Amino acid sequence: MVVVMVAGALPEQVEFVKERLVALGFQPHLIKGVSRIVIGAVGDRRTIDAATLENLPGVEKVIPIMKPYKLASREAKEADSVVQVGRVCIGGGSVTVMAGPCAVENREQLFKAARLVRQAGAAVLRGGAFKPRTSPYSFQGLAEKGLRLLAEAAAQTGLASVTEVIDQHSLEIAKDYVDILQIGARNMQNFHLLRAVGRAGKPVLLKRGPSATIEEWLMAAEYIMSEGNENVILCERGIRTFERLTRNTLDLSAVSLVKILSHLPVVVDPSHATGDRRLVEPMSKAALAAGADGLLIEVHPDPPKALCDGQQSLYPEQFAHLMQELKVIAAATGRTVNGSAPCKQNRSA
Amino acid sequence: MVVVMVAGALPEQVEFVKERLVALGFQPHLIKGVSRIVIGAVGDRRTIDAATLENLPGVEKVIPIMKPYKLASREAKEADSVVQVGRVCIGGGSVTVMAGPCAVENREQLFKAARLVRQAGAAVLRGGAFKPRTSPYSFQGLAEKGLRLLAEAAAQTGLASVTEVIDQHSLEIAKDYVDILQIGARNMQNFHLLRAVGRAGKPVLLKRGPSATIEEWLMAAEYIMSEGNENVILCERGIRTFERLTRNTLDLSAVSLVKILSHLPVVVDPSHATGDRRLVEPMSKAALAAGADGLLIEVHPDPPKALCDGQQSLYPEQFAHLMQELKVIAAATGRTVNGSAPCKQNRSA
Amino acid sequence: MVVVMVAGALPEQVEFVKERLVALGFQPHLIKGVSRIVIGAVGDRRTIDAATLENLPGVEKVIPIMKPYKLASREAKEADSVVQVGRVCIGGGSVTVMAGPCAVENREQLFKAARLVRQAGAAVLRGGAFKPRTSPYSFQGLAEKGLRLLAEAAAQTGLASVTEVIDQHSLEIAKDYVDILQIGARNMQNFHLLRAVGRAGKPVLLKRGPSATIEEWLMAAEYIMSEGNENVILCERGIRTFERLTRNTLDLSAVSLVKILSHLPVVVDPSHATGDRRLVEPMSKAALAAGADGLLIEVHPDPPKALCDGQQSLYPEQFAHLMQELKVIAAATGRTVNGSAPCKQNRSA
Amino acid sequence: MVVVMVAGALPEQVEFVKERLVALGFQPHLIKGVSRIVIGAVGDRRTIDAATLENLPGVEKVIPIMKPYKLASREAKEADSVVQVGRVCIGGGSVTVMAGPCAVENREQLFKAARLVRQAGAAVLRGGAFKPRTSPYSFQGLAEKGLRLLAEAAAQTGLASVTEVIDQHSLEIAKDYVDILQIGARNMQNFHLLRAVGRAGKPVLLKRGPSATIEEWLMAAEYIMSEGNENVILCERGIRTFERLTRNTLDLSAVSLVKILSHLPVVVDPSHATGDRRLVEPMSKAALAAGADGLLIEVHPDPPKALCDGQQSLYPEQFAHLMQELKVIAAATGRTVNGSAPCKQNRSA
């Protein structure tokens, strides 16, 4: 940590900062610059907030040197983490496709969806039962009834399953039905929920918030991991920008950068990121080329009849075609797309 | 609602959209443009999502004409709403200042804070007991113990009180201790929590999310109001932009615009918006000049010792000075700053 | 400047950085941290780009300590600068209103506008002759013919004048007709144009770019000042964000912060920032309360007939009313609105 | 175009809008909605600004239906455009790599760079001679001397060349030395410069502005094309967002979307977008997978000694490796990377 004093800081202010640093367990090193004094503080920044020093009299700013996250960092664990979900391995050199409808609408729709994504080569079935909608007048999901259908469809097709939980209540219900618990973008900084899924004993798919920085995203993973749950899968789903022709702006450089900064697997959701089914195929391919460990894709047996997100849901034949394309791109990056065959063990050390 | 067909849409696609519109209760009006067909749909858009039409074959886009929120809109209620909290009236032509520390830290700190904000002329005491922190290693608040102190300090000084609730659990505890329940920026789209505070029978202070549009903010208010709770106070607290010298960018034009679009009172939090105590005074004055009904300000008896947000907390003497300045600006806009004297009745019709 | 080495940087990499720093005129101070080495570099950062060090092997990042601008900084000049334009003083404790139409359209329109803004109490007449339009099919301005009308109208009413220049060519023409040369938002980083207006010998109104940080804005001022022209007036006009109900987001905290960081006067353009005439009055008042030294406002004798920006142009009676309101707010902040009376001399030291 | 009247608009206001529409050459179609009147206007929107109607009394908003650009649109020309530069074809199903240093620094550096990019398989040599720098104290480029070196190095290696022009003056000089004129991100809305390169008779590489929407980017292309120059190559180089770990956020969905909306070739600059050489390879591969027609990449014979952008410049061996990878990805998307062999004729109809 580096503490920059204001130009003309008083000697007693400098002294006070040094004392405070020592009290916090740091060793202060004074550097007298041309116009101001800078104090290098040697120690473990993570135990304190930089902000608590920033408001000491005479302090201009505090610059952290170490990353604020520990467990999620590549420095803590050099090898890629692999999250095993049933027979599927996410991360570690293969590509996993999770697919299915935005929401579980009814038995027929979901089972059709499950069969078609299975047939095309996906490994995980997605389907929402608790839908956080911007309007209180929109369809809000089938809740437990939807989860029951999801579990059944997954079992019947041999797929793993993932669904979003939106609070303590839905978490309690969902954890008995699905393989992966999803934290949606809007809940990325719902810290109590993060702690709760950290204790739920199931793999967690953690979406990046629409205006979260990469560092905040990794801090959210840290929350989950600090409860003892290492099975975190990160999911990039677009950030909010001024661009209006796409729903969000898919940030693929974040995917590549997170693969450098962290050992956790990262998947990409091109459906929510773009909100436009025409962009799902190119963005899926780009995501794999950028190094993503998998994809989360919305498919519906009959998109024009979808109760939500129909305009970004692929038609069955589009999804089948996409899966073919993905196999080619995966091969071009030295990987294969996971089917439902068991993954090789001990991929992570 | 206006449905724009793609150039070259087939007659049967147009027919299908018309039929769907009729089935949804709209009257379709066809306009043949130079290069494409546009269908005006007369009816109440709020019952359906525009998106469900957007994915019909041959549809380019769907443009909503009506606003998606109803209860929160100025069209639903022309007169300004006034939220009464104990003896304090928020909105309706007066200015209410809510002030206090970021977090309740201990009895001495809080009672000092309560006395000083009361003395300077604030009407509501703020203090956090459940702190959503970006790092799992930061101070997380005193929980119920903090609420008990807050209730006591408010009672002793004759101030009303406001505190943030972060989930169902904290809401259950807090609603027995405080006068106003605050929904923090990160929970603005936590729809289940919005519904829950809508049923809690207490006024709600609803912060705008850091990347929420004005429309989404009003939709969040709609969620609360649709549960029968009309006592919603909106709070602008800065949005996330690329600017790095301020924590967020305070969006004061949103305040003025919301006063046009909605009847709800709007207050401003210059402390979180800027993250810099030097900017709190000018932004507080600007907020009043922009038409805000009040302010939410962080003050600490001893900011350098604050456990959170110290760099944006005012010193006691700064707050006292600010209150003097605010009285002048309030007067210049034809208003007065609420003290703890009872508000005049029947301010809203 | 602080150079942070990567964890595990080799001794020869550290040595190489130190040597390079010495060669660049810095004194390096080594601090061995828990996980990495940090080198404090004492000297004048402005002579080099931090980036040239950032790509040395073993360097993780370079953190500048000093601000990158010099002449524009409050450290370089403590007292507020006052820019004198004819008899008008901009900055230094008074409020200057610049007003007029988006574009000079014809003699009648401009002279009407000039008389009405003069009568209401403005000190400077604005009017565009070279219009940078997003569409090549839109009205592009009257060029020199417009400038001639502007000069005439200003002379007749005793107002000073301001117009935008968009390149070397328009600058050459405009500098003989107007009192203040405006650099538009889109040209804020057109560095050659900045240099050129720096040499033109006229006061410059420098708009902030729609996605420029405060630091980049001050660097643009530095460009002008580094050519010897100290008469720079900064103008905040809104930044691009995700918000869609206002054209841009007016960043008033930038105004207050720039008044701390720099000695230059700052004015605000609420018309372009909001794109909505209903928001011009509240944002004008908020700007003064935030400490702005003046305003740039679009007024048109007949807005529905305006060739550009009509929806943000005030009607004559709205402008007259606004000026009355501004006098009250100016008084509440201890200032007066400049009319066309000569300003007091020696306001700046 | 659809004109939405305010709720409660007066009959004479509706009449006035209709008359104005007729006068502008539109046929108005009235639709009476539940709460307001909507007027569909049939005709060619491009001749007028929507804004000129938006400020008529009683108008709430004007919604354009047609795209504001014509020549650049896919509707105007269905087949992909191919821009031929010497023997190189950009667009139309092959992949073109343009590479070289940020700035031309001296003969040795540039000739080394030229040879190495040629050897690795690039087709175009890049090198800046006029550098728009945010600080007036940074290296500003070699100007004409640099262009002479660029032309010589390109000739010697058989590469085509591209360089940035920043104003009329640099354009006049550069057009005699290089094959492609680049408009930098900061000049994307420098409309006079756009017109000037439109008349210069050379292919233009048009970078997207850091906060430009896709529509504004295509409008900038329209400016160039409206002067008769159809040889426009679009270049995505990242947009400004709140993310701080990358210099900008590379917007690859914009690339895929522009390929749908426009017939123009699109290339990607991963170097400026990320500012981080570790991200150049994954983003280059992702760009090709997203459908980009080529790449613009910074390479330097000795990055630690680069005078600008060294931290994002590839080392020679990194570039050679990247080119191998790109060939694999190009093949996986059914394309080949252009070398310096002549392109097949008549690729565009």
CA distance A45 to A124: 40
Of the candidates C239, C252, C333, which has its C-beta nearest B252's C-beta?
Answer: C252
CA distance A37 to A14: 8
Lowest mean pLDDT: which of A320-324, B48-52, D181-185, D191-195? Answer: B48-52
- Cβ distance C253 to B273 under 8 Å? yes
Q: What is the DSSP string of C28-95?
A: EEEEE-SSSEEEEEES-GGGS-HHHHHTSTTEEEEE--S-S-STTBTTT--SPP-EEETTEEESSS-B
To which H or E segment does residue B119 belong?
helix B107-120
- Cβ distance C280 to D20 under 8 Å? no
Q: What is the DSSP string of A256-275?
A: HHHHHHBSS-EEE-HHHHH-
Judge: B309–A51 Cβ closer than 8 Å, yes or no.
yes
Which residues from B are below 8 Å from D31, CB to CB?
A: 29, 40, 42
- The residue whose two tokens read 């390479």 is D299
- The overall average pLDDT reported for chain D is 91
Rounded to 10°, the helix C277-289/B252-261 angle is 140
To which H or E segment does residue A204 belong?
strand A204-207
3-state secondary structure of A326: helix
Please name which of B329, B181, B303, B312 lies closest in space to residue B248, comparing C-alpha atoms.
B312
Mean per-residue pLDDT for C103-107? Answer: 96
Q: What is the pLDDT of residues A30-76, one digit of tens each?
A: 888 877 898 988 886 555 666 678 878 899 888 888 788 999 999 89
Q: What is the DSSP string of C320-344?
A: HHHHHHHHHHHHHTT--B--SSPPP
Q: How far is D136 from chain C (nearest CA, A)?
A: 5
Q: For the purposes of burial, counting CB atoms within 10 Å of the CB of A60, is it exposed (0-12), middle (13-18) or buried (19 or more)?
A: middle
CA distance D303 to D101: 9
Q: How far is C45 from chain D (nearest CA, A)?
A: 11
- Cβ distance B125 to B99 under 8 Å? yes
Judge: C253–B279 Cβ closer than 8 Å, yes or no.
yes
Of the candidates C257, C260, C285, which has its C-beta nearest B290's C-beta?
Answer: C285
Look at chain A and count its residues.
349
Tell me the two tokens of residue A247: 């729903």
In chain D, the percentage of residues whose pLDDT exceeds 90 is 70
Q: What is the pLDDT of residues A87-113, one digit of tens each?
A: 899 998 899 999 999 999 999 999 999
Tell me the two tokens of residue C51: 């980036």
Q: What is the pLDDT of residues D84-107, one digit of tens each?
A: 998 899 998 899 999 999 999 999
Q: b/e string for A122-134 if b means 16 or more Cβ within 10 A?
A: bbbbbbbbbbbbb
CA distance D58 to B57: 35
- What pLDDT is stored for residue D87 in this prediction? 85
- What pLDDT is stored for residue A240 in this prediction? 95
CA distance D236 to A250: 14
Judge: B133–A55 Cβ closer than 8 Å, yes or no.
no
Q: Chain A interface, mutation test: which of D216, D253, D312, most A Cβ atoms within 10 Å?
A: D253
Please indicate whether residue C220 or residue B23 has the higher confidence score (pLDDT). C220
- What pLDDT is stored for residue C346 in this prediction? 44
Judge: C2–A2 Cβ closer than 8 Å, yes or no.
yes
- What pLDDT is stored for residue C349 in this prediction? 35
Judge: C75–A7 Cβ closer than 8 Å, yes or no.
yes
3-state secondary structure of A311: helix
Please name which of C41, B138, C31, C65 lies closest in space to residue A42, comparing C-alpha atoms.
C31
Beta bridge partners of B186: none
How big is chain C by its Cα radius of gyration, in Å? Answer: 23
Mean per-residue pLDDT for A292-297? Answer: 98
Q: What is the DSSP string of C144-196?
A: HHHHHHHHHHHHHHT-EEEEEE-SHHHHHHHTTT-SEEEEPGGGTT-HHHHHH
Which residues from B are below 8 Å from C246, CB to CB?
A: 253-254, 257
- What pLDDT is stored for residue A340 in this prediction? 58
DSSP state of D301: S
Q: How far apart are the first and last CA of chain C?
A: 32
Mean per-residue pLDDT for A136-159? Answer: 92
Name the closest residue on chain C to residue B288, using Cα atoms: C286
Of the candidates D34, D40, D63, which has its C-beta nearest B31's C-beta?
Answer: D40
- What pLDDT is stored for residue B140 in this prediction? 81
Of the candidates C4, C35, C66, which has its C-beta nearest A35's C-beta?
Answer: C66
Judge: D42–B36 Cβ closer than 8 Å, yes or no.
no
3-state secondary structure of B11: helix
Name the closest residue on chain C to residue D68, using Cα atoms: C135
Judge: A329–D329 Cβ closer than 8 Å, yes or no.
yes
Name the closest residue on chain A to residue B278, using Cα atoms: A55
Judge: D190–C189 Cβ closer than 8 Å, yes or no.
no
Mean per-residue pLDDT for C194-211? Answer: 96
Q: b/e string for D249-287 if b means 16 or more Cβ within 10 A?
A: bbbbbbbbbbbebbbbbbbbbbbbbbbbbebbbbbbbbb
> Residue C75's pLDDT band (boundaries 50, 70, 90)?
confident
- What pLDDT is stored for residue A46 in this prediction? 59
Q: How far is C303 from chain D (nearest CA, A)?
A: 7
3-state secondary structure of D266: strand
CA distance D114 to D117: 5
Q: What is the pLDDT of residues C164-191, one digit of tens each?
A: 999 888 999 999 999 999 999 999 999 8
> Residue D285's pLDDT band (boundaries 50, 70, 90)?
very high
CA distance B237 to B250: 6
Q: In what order do the strands lie in the sheet with C59-63?
A: C27-32, C37-42, C2-5, C59-63
Which residues from A are below 8 Å from C4, CB to CB?
A: 65
Q: What is the pLDDT of residues D129-169, one digit of tens each?
A: 998 777 777 778 899 999 999 999 999 999 999 999 998 88
Judge: D63–B2 Cβ closer than 8 Å, yes or no.
yes
Interface of A with C (CB under 8 A): 2, 4, 7, 29, 31-36, 38, 40, 42-44, 63, 65-66, 75, 240-242, 244
Judge: C135–D219 Cβ closer than 8 Å, yes or no.
yes
Tell me the two tokens of residue A117: 């994504």
The contacts of residue C198 (CB under 8 Å, 6+ apart) are C204, C223, C224, C225, C226, C227, C228, C229
Q: What is the DSSP string of D19-56?
A: HHHHHTTPEEEEEE-SSSEEEEEES-GGGS-THHHHTS
D83-332 has CATH 3.40.50.720 classification: no
Please name which of C242, C248, C216, A255 lies closest in space to residue D249, comparing C-alpha atoms.
A255
Query: Cβ atoms within 10 A of the Cβ of D125, count?
Result: 29
Please name which of C147, C145, C152 lies closest in space to residue C165, comparing C-alpha atoms.
C147
- What pLDDT is stored for residue B347 in this prediction? 43
- What pLDDT is stored for residue B346 in this prediction? 44
The contacts of residue D330 (CB under 8 Å, 6+ apart) are D95, D288, D336, D337
- Residue B25 to residues B1, B22, B46, B48, Cα–Cα distance (Å): 12, 5, 12, 10
Judge: B2–D38 Cβ closer than 8 Å, yes or no.
yes
Which residues from B are below 8 Å from C289, CB to CB?
A: 282, 285-286, 288-289, 329
Lowest mean pLDDT: which of A165-179, A285-299, C65-79? Answer: C65-79
- The residue whose two tokens read 């040599």 is D125
Residue type, C290: A
Which residues from C are below 8 Å from A38, CB to CB?
A: 2, 40, 65
Mean per-residue pLDDT for C8-30? Answer: 90
Residue type, A163: T
Please indicate whether residue D317 or residue A25 has the higher confidence score (pLDDT). D317
The contacts of residue D166 (CB under 8 Å, 6+ apart) are C190, C191, C192, D130, D132, D184, D187, D193
Q: How far is A47 from chain B (nearest CA, A)?
A: 6
Look at chain C and count its residues.
349
Q: How far is B67 from chain C (nearest CA, A)?
A: 12
Of the candidates C253, C276, C333, which has its C-beta nearest B273's C-beta?
Answer: C253
Judge: D257–A249 Cβ closer than 8 Å, yes or no.
no
Judge: C239–B241 Cβ closer than 8 Å, yes or no.
yes
Judge: C40–A63 Cβ closer than 8 Å, yes or no.
no
CATH architecture of B2-63: 2-Layer Sandwich (3.30)
3-state secondary structure of B196: helix
DSSP state of C279: H
Q: For the purposes of burial, counting CB atoms within 10 Å of the CB of C48, is it exposed (0-12), middle (13-18) or buried (19 or more)?
A: buried
Tell me the two tokens of residue C226: 């580094």
- Residue A146 to residues A104, A161, A315, B52, Cα–Cα distance (Å): 6, 12, 22, 20
- The structural domains of chain A, with segments of one domain joined by +, span 2-63, 83-332
- What pLDDT is stored for residue B339 in this prediction? 73
Lowest mean pLDDT: which of C268-272, C280-284, D39-43? Answer: D39-43
CA B82 remoteness from chain centre: 15
In chain B, the percentage of residues whose pLDDT exceeds 70 is 95
- What pLDDT is stored for residue D347 in this prediction? 43
Number of Cα atoms under 13 Å in the Cβ half of residue B280: 26
Q: Which residues of chain B have pLDDT under 70?
A: 44-51, 340-342, 344-349
ipTM value of the model?
A: 0.93
